[in-house]
Structure 1
Amino acid sequence: MGKSLFIAEKPMVARAFAAVFNDNLTKHDGYLEGDKTVVTWCVGHLVTMSYPEVYDPALKKWSMSSLPFIPDNFLYEVIPGVKKQYDIVSRLLTRDDVSRIYVCTDSGREGEYIYRLVRNQAGVHDKDERRVWIDSQTDEEIKRGIREAKPESDYDSLSDAAYLRAREDYLMGINFSRLLTLKYGNQMASFLNSKRQVIAVGRVMTCVLGMVVRREIEIRQFVKTPFYRLLAQTDSDEKNGISFEWKAVKGSKYFNSPLLYKDNGFKQRNDAAELARLISGSDELFHKDLAGCDIELTVTSVHRKDEKKNPPLLYNLAEIQNDASKFFKISPDQTLQIIQSLYEKKLVTYPRTDARVLSSAIAREIDKNIRGLSQLPIFKPFTDQIFASGSYKKIGSTRYTDDKKITDHYAIIPTGQGLGALKGLNATEQRVYETIARRFLAIFYPQAVYKKTSVEAVNGSEHFFSNERYLDKEGYLAVMHYSFFKDKNDATAGNKLPAEIKKGDKIKIRALSIKEGETSPPKRYTSGSMILAMENAGSLIEDDELREQIKSNGIGTSATRAGILEKLVKNKYLSLNKKTQVITPTLTGEMIYYVVGYSIRPMLDPVLTASWEKGLSEVADAKIGEDEYMTKLTAFITKYTDRVKGENNGEVLSKCFNYASQFYKKGSYGGMAREKSTGKNRQGTAEKTQTKETKQ
């Protein structure tokens, strides 16, 4: 029998594989070799799709007549900068003495694509190919992956999806970027006083650009609405005593009144003051708050209950990218790089995962991960408690273990191994590791329990309400005291409701006050919240549990979302504040939004963009075929290419450009800073044009 060749995606991963072999491996240029084993690596992608001019030199010049460009057979070529390593890998793949190939690239769609490109370019035939699928780079997991490696043909559908994803991005990018640049590039360049303007369009990145611009328009056009609430205090000093808030419930004089903004607030202060006057019999409230009054409320109901809060689900890549953006003000791409490094150091499991649960297989052996963490003083009190309670034994029957919610990999968790590498990590890397470890340990702890008391009281036909909430049992929250944060008391009680308060009690009110509030505009995306919005097909859902319930195919994948944001910033279509991680559009980005909106509007639709990703998942699952997907793709590209060729939106786009430019400071054409939004509508023909466009 010949030798076995192991091909990894990166040199460091190859070294991790080589470490498990006892085969006298010696170093060579670009690979390691022993008596029975050869280990080599790619350096990311070695092969890529060829540009149109490779098909026909005439296609190097952009022209409308050459569009749509949809080749019958796609061409591929070796990337010049990595040709040396490609030649090494290609030679090893086709060596006569190599009889079996173990594919050890990243266990996912893109890792599969990297290998298939090299294999096909090298012309590999009649080899026994096996797929190694692992969740971490610990020695045990690597050995298990090799031992359980499946025939590479089992992953043909995944490969089909990978090729289709690349072809889709290629065809949309080349056709629509050339199309819109030829049609409107000069108009944009003239407006921006630049020599040339390429309008780069992508299946995912254009949709993300649209999400950011739409949010900016919503903020820009937002008009603050004031409202006025009536509060009653048992003490004239509002820092003391109990505070009650009035609400217009059934029976109130103001129930369903047009004077209300909501059931607890008036549109006008005078109306709130009139209510206060009716309750107190004082005219002073038209001008100021009233202290020293003597009003009585009668308690009509008292409800006491326990509120239980579960430990959150484990981290997937999107969740940790969001938290790292909030905690450490680092970009999703930086977070991915850090977790990838932790993975390669054997500290955590595979990072590019969408799952937030454990597999039943790992749940059965989870004590190994916990025991490893017990070696670290910062975590030992928690691991001791987990072992003492035996909670780890039952984790397989909880919501934190679910094989049905795992496609490629389970959640990101600490392996409990590689701990020697911790000393070499920088501060941010150590904090990211701590964040992952605490989220992991928390699932073995009980729920946090809050005590909540709700009181309703009346004065005549008007109802007042007071609520108290405080932390009674810390539960899993004991684990969540991060070393890099000052602890905050999680008890949220503001009022001090007497424990003996009961229905029928009379409560003396010593002060009435009117509190002014105002509606808030939508929040701008941060780099982290954008990742979550992409995961949920354009919906930024803050609630952790709700987000998991409605989760479906999102925009892009866990492996690509961070890179998409980076590309938009690099192209100067978006601006990223590194201190706050807040994302805003540039003038160039907003202009492209209008160009696409009037030309190929579906490219801005998150739901439609997510449907393309869902289609790729269906190909990977062998639910639909490659030909069916390509037919729909080519029809879409042809339809919109022909449509754009036959229309001219130059005039309406000029109005949109003029409208947008007033919100940006003059500067470099791609990096024009966004002016601070005033929250007021700006009138004018251009705005009316833009507003109509956003509603279409």
Structure 2
Amino acid sequence: MGKALIITEKPSVARDITKALGGFEEKKKGDYFESDEFVCTYAVGHILTLFAPEDIKPQYKRWRLADLPIIPEEFQTKPVPKQESRLKVISRLINRKDVDTLINACDAAREGELIFREIVKHVGSEKPIRRLWLQSMTKQAILTGFKNLEDGLKYNGLAAAAECRANADWLIGMNATRALTVRLKSRNQRGVSWSAGRVQTPTLALLVKRELEVLDHVPVAYWKVTAKFQAGNEYDSTWFDPDFDRKNATRDQKEDRIFEKEKAEKIVAAVTGQEGLAREIRKPSPKKAPPLFDLTSLQRAANTRFGWSATRTLRAAQRCYETHKVLTYPRTSSKHLPNDYREEVDKVLKIFSDDQNYGPHAQTLLDKGLLNDDKIFDDAKVTDHFAIIPTGELKNDLEGDDGKLYDLVSRQFMAAFYPPAIYEDVERITEVKGYSFRSKPPKVLKEPGWEAVFGKKAGGPEESFPPLVEGQDKSDNVKVNNLNSESEEFATKPPSRISEAGLLSLMENAGRQVEDAELAEALNSAEGLGTAATRADIIENLKNREYVDAKLRPTPKGIRLIDVLDRIHASRLTSAKLTAELELFLNDVEKGVRTGDGFMSEIANYAEDVVVATRDFDWDEIYKDEDPVGKCPKCQKDVFEKAWFYGCTESTKRVGKKNCDFLVWKDNNGRYINRQVVRDLLEKGETGELDGFKNASGKEYKGILTIENGTVTRKTTSDAIPGPDETFEVNPEPIAPCPNAMDEGCLVVETPHDFVCKHKAEAKEGEESTGCGFKFPRMLCKREIKREEVEAYLKDGETPVMAGFVSKRGRKFAAKLVMEKGGDSFRFEFPPRASKKKKEDEEATQSEESQSSEAKTADDKTSKPSKKKVKKSEASES
């Protein structure tokens, strides 16, 4: 009798399955496990990737509009770099003569199906497939799953939908990126791509839309009227309009804002010194216990509490899962646990009850029982993975990011089973001469409930706002006296920029941005834009591609991309609606209502539409309907918006002699110059103070734009605004021995700022370390040095060639770092210059660019070397 080969998505799942089934021996250092009945091995996520265009045809190595759209007759795969050996192991096991059945034990969802099927397809196997569908990893769940293995044919629709989704993303992203890069990059931007994609671009559009709202905001004056009343005790109150129409109000309109100064003064005059009647309600306000964490909610919480990026949170969670074994699998979109996990929860709580940090809270739950379990244990709401919870492994010695994250998840885990926290909510309304005033003090915590797990205690500022009538929670028609009133002027503020926590929420709930109910439902069922496992990478890609800065503020490049896509009527690419439509179609493929070939035919047509829209637009045409923003200070002609700048009708002439050279560049030292700023500049000769300029070190500063002798100049009004110190998450595991190791304990470890010798890291301030003193920066020439790059440096004496360094003059370069003097220093080693043929190829690619004279003018202006000597003060702004 033959054996069945079990293929899992992750090594940890392979270990859990072999342990549950029993009888396995580890073979070849963990390459696979084998028993009398089964062979078990694992992938490491996706170990195959689709062919790049140049893999299909060598001519596609050159990015030319004439070759687009690229639509392969067949989508082929190749191993992901560094995964060739894993693929060979799996391939060899699949082809074993004694293996007659394949068991798909990858995650129970579309992506897990794809990982397994693409391996089987790449290997070319036609052996029968059985499907293991698990939502819980308890021993009993695994044994039950193997008793109920299903025919793989049942999941062919899911597999087809998964393959179509991957192929569709390739078609859209690759064709859009190549077309946009050829059209948008300027001649001095060699090697720069304008990446676009189904998820990345709508995510960027969310940020750009908010940024333009911020930049276009014009402050409007408004007034607030405040009054001090006396009723035994004094209290403050603010006027409000009880008939305020919230439904039809603008963002700036609020119930307590008055936009006419005279009206505010009238209210002050009417109520000052007058008697009034007050009423009050004090009522309990429960705040229910939080749910367990999925990855996205954990990333939001860590961003809010610690200021961490989504990537930083994911890395810490991954270490807590893989290295320390203290948390369950983190890349999950579920906040629930399977019904059979109650015993696991009790087991963790019993372990926690003996811990000095968590003991009191865990013991309370064991003594009083778990609440909210009907909302937490729910098989129907468990996806391919369940919520992130502690495993029961106690490690109080965890430090840095790992320790903080473990503590956060552990406390959330216990808090989820606690009763609600009870606050006291107070609202007091005072009526004087027909005008209404409201007092709403901060809520007072009466019963900590779940908040106790996070250290909160009952109490609060209640003594500063005693009851209107002593001993009563509700009172009415209490006479009060107005002691004084005043009006104060304010100005409306722009909406706040989107934080990383806010962006994660917007991506997860992208269905709310789609008006069509059917499409919104499809998007909601698909977890919104991206998945819990991919959102961190999407955000990091936006940063790495310089569409946004570290604070998620869109750059001029990011704003230009979205602006152009909207103007050429390719806004479908900037909207979550595209993902919603794809999800609807993929659901049809999964159900067998639509064929995979039919779906891909539609996607190929859409990719062609994007290429045509990008290839055929005329730069002048897409801005032709814009109203002028003002008059040119030099020639008094109208100034219009163009792609790279604002210029007058004389300075933007396509042919003939130009009688004026006035231009306002949209990118001014990293700060996008929007239409409202240009209007102010042309009307008043200068702008107000603007933020967002960046110096050569990437630090922000504020400045004012002025017009002097017909030329726009920038005056700095603040020193570089210091951001938070550049610190990085710390993986406490040693990396490798020091290059000059003086003893066995001389290892290189991470600190928030450097890679250093462990002895040096542990030395107290003022003490001399006993180690070799090795130290290597984590940030070099504005580029973060990754752990794996330092591993290569320590192992081989050099890193691979790394792109993304920035010189003192702001120029990007690539280089490898080569160790010198036994590790005491290093040098940059630059790759060889491009060959003459390669240069000719690049020039041929550039000749395909179809840009208007405006773009060429922009290139000429920026690429000509300046003969001006730069002073130090000016260099700091460049």
What TM-score, normalized by structure 2, do the two folds share? 0.64
SS in 1 for 2:529: coil
User: How far apart, in 1, do the equivalents of 2:349 and 2:589 lie?
Assistant: 38
Q: Distance in 2 between matches of 1:248 and 1:665?
A: 40
Could you list the runs of 5+ residues in structure 1 that have no partner in the other structure?
A: 281-293, 541-546, 577-581, 680-696
Q: 1:179 to 1:47 in 2, by over 3 A?
A: same
Change (3 A) 1:295 1:429: same
Query: Where does residue 155 of structure 1 map in the other structure?
Result: 155
Report whether the alignment pairs 1:195 with 2:190: yes
Give the equivalent residue in structure 2 for 1:171: 171
Q: Secondary structure at the match of 1:167?
A: helix
Quote the residue 2:291 is aligned against. Answer: 313
Partner of 1:227: 222
Pair 624,391 (structure 1): closer, same or farther in 2 beyond 3 Å: farther
Amino acid at match of 1:573: Y
- Corresponding residue number in structure 1 for 2:615: 645
Counterpart of 2:350?
371
Task: State the Cα distance separating 1:214 from its structure 2 match.
Answer: 1.7
Alignment of 1:382-401 (within 5 A): 382-392=361-371, 395-396=373-374, 399-401=375-377
Rounded Cα–Cα distance in structure 2 between residues aligned with 1:587 and 1:75: 37
Report deviation, 1:92: 0.8
For the 8 Å contact 2:290–2:416, the answer to whether it is kept is yes
Distance (whole Å) between structure 2 residues aligned to residue 593 and residue 318 of structure 1 = 26
- In 1, the alpha carbon distance for the partners of 2:462 and 2:108 equals 44
Is residue 412 of structure 1 aligned with residue 383 of structure 2? no
Task: Give the alignment partner of residue 670 of structure 2, picking from 664, 667, 670.
Answer: 664
Conserved? CA contact 2:227–2:484, under 8 Å: yes
Deviation at 1:322, TM superposition (A): 0.7
Contact 1:665 1:672 in 2 (8 A): no
Q: What residue in structure 1 maps to residue 312 of structure 2?
A: 334
Secondary structure of the corresponding residue to residue 307 of structure 1:
strand
Change (3 A) 1:470 1:80: closer
**Contact 1:324/1:330 (<8 A) preserved:** yes
Higher share in helix: 1
In the aligned structure 1, how far is the partner of 2:128 from the partner of 2:525? Answer: 38
CA distance in 2, matches of 1:6, 1:463: 71
- 1:12 Cα offset (Å): 5.1
Q: Mean Cα displacement is larger for which, 466-475 or 664-673?
A: 664-673
Tell me the alpha carbon deviations over residues 466-516 of structure 1, each in whole angstroms, 9 at most, x when there is no partner.
33442222222222338xxxx897768863333437323221232323344
The CA distance in 1 between the partners of 2:161 and 2:671, in whole Å, is 44
Distance in 1, matches of 2:271 and 2:390, equals 60
Secondary structure of 1:595's aligned partner: helix
- Please give the secondary structure, in 1, of the residue aligned with 2:553: strand
CA distance in 2, matches of 1:527, 1:471: 29
Identify the residue that residue 606 of structure 2 maps to in structure 1: 636
Q: Pick closer, same or farther for the CA change 1:481–1:124 going to 2, 3 Å.
A: farther
Match of 2:532 in 1: 558
The equivalences for 1:200-349 within 5 A come to: 200-234=195-229, 241-249=234-242, 262-280=254-272, 294-299=273-278, 301-344=279-322, 346-349=325-328
User: 1:655 aligns to what?
Assistant: 642
How far apart, in 2, do the equivalents of 1:669 and 1:625 lie?
Answer: 54
Q: Which residue of 1 aligns with 2:110?
A: 109
Q: 1:611 to 1:448 in 2, by over 3 A?
A: farther
Query: Offset of 1:323 from its aligned partner?
Result: 0.8
Partner deviation per Cα, 1:236-264 (whole Å, 9 max, x = no partner): 99xx731222223469xxxx9xxx96442
Compared CA separation, residues 531 and 538, structure 1 to 2 (3 A): farther
1:597 aligns with 2:592: no
Q: Secondary structure of the equivalent of 2:510?
A: coil
Aligned residue identity for 1:414: P
Query: 1:352/1:195 Cα in 2 relative to 1: closer, same or farther (>3 Å)?
Result: closer
- Unpaired stretches in structure 2, ≥5 consecutive residues: 514-519, 624-640, 646-664, 673-692, 706-878
Counterpart secondary structure, 1:302: strand
Q: Aligned equivalents of 2:199 and 2:258: distance in 1?
A: 44
Residue 31 (structure 2) aligns with:
31
For residues 564 and 243 of structure 2, the distance between their equivalents in structure 1, rounded to whole angstroms, comes to 51
Which amino acid in 2 is paired with 1:612? L
CA RMSD in angstroms, aligned pairs only:
3.9
- Quick check: 2:267–2:435 contact (8 Å CA) kept in 1? no
User: How far 1:13 moved relative to its partner?
Assistant: 4.8
CA distance in structure 2 between the partners assigned to 1:507 and 1:598 by the alignment: 60
- Counterpart residue number, 2:9: 9
CA distance in 1, matches of 2:417, 2:26: 45
How far does the alpha carbon of each residue in 1:122-142 deviate from its partner, in whole angstroms, 9 at most, with x for none? Answer: 122224534353545x66665
Supply the distance in 2 between the matched residues of 1:493 and 1:648 (Cα, whole angstroms). 68
Q: Which amino acid aligns with 2:617?
A: E
- SS for the counterpart of 1:48 is strand
Conserved 8 A contact 1:316-1:356: yes
What is aligned with 1:688? none
Query: What amino acid maps onto 1:597 in structure 2?
Result: D
1:586 matched to 2:586: no
Deviation at residue 10 of structure 1 after TM alignment: 4.2
* Cα distance, 1:23 vs structure 2: 3.5
Deviation at 1:403, TM superposition (A): 4.3
Q: Distance in 2 between matches of 1:159 and 1:588?
A: 38
SS in 2 for 1:592: helix
1:283-334 deviations in Å (ceiling 9; x for gaps): xxxxxxxxxxx432223x3333322221123222211111111222222122
Offset at 1:19?
4.7
* Amino acid across the alignment from 1:226: A
Aligned equivalents of 2:332, 2:303: Cα separation in 1 = 18
Equivalent residue, structure 2, for 1:450: 423
The Cα offsets for residues 160-201 of structure 1, whole Å up to 9 and x where unpaired, read as 22212211111012211122223x13xx324xx433542211
- CA shift, 1:220, in A, is 0.8
- State the Cα distance separating 1:26 from its structure 2 match: 4.0
TM-superposed CA distance for 1:215, in Å, is 1.5
Distance 1:248 1:361, change over 3 A: same
| Greater mean deviation of Cα atoms: 551-560 or 524-533 | 551-560
**Aligned match of 2:744:** none
Counterpart residue number, 1:354: 333
Contact 1:242 1:496 in 2 (8 A): no
Equivalent pairs, count: 632
Check conservation: 1:664, 1:673, Cα contact below 8 A. Answer: no
Deviations 1:251-279 (A, max 9, x none): 9xxxx9xxx96442322445423321222
Contact map agreement 1:5 1:93 (CA 8 A) in 2: yes
The question of whether the paired residues in 2 share the 8 Å contact of 1:573 and 1:670 is answered with no
Name the counterpart of 1:530. 503
Find the aligned partners of 2:460 and 2:117 in 1 and give their Cα distance: 51
Instruction: Give the letter for the 1:412 counterpart.
Output: I
Q: Corresponding residue for 1:510?
A: 483
Alignment pair present for 1:42 and 2:20:
no
Q: Give CA deviations for 1:28-49 in whole Å, capped at 9, x if unaligned.
A: 1661444424333334433221
Moved more, 328-337 or 143-152: 143-152
| Counterpart-to-counterpart distance in 2, 1:674 and 1:131 | 54
User: Greater shift after overlay, 82-91 or 142-151?
Assistant: 142-151
Distance 1:595 1:671, change over 3 A: farther
Q: Aligned residues: percent identity?
A: 28
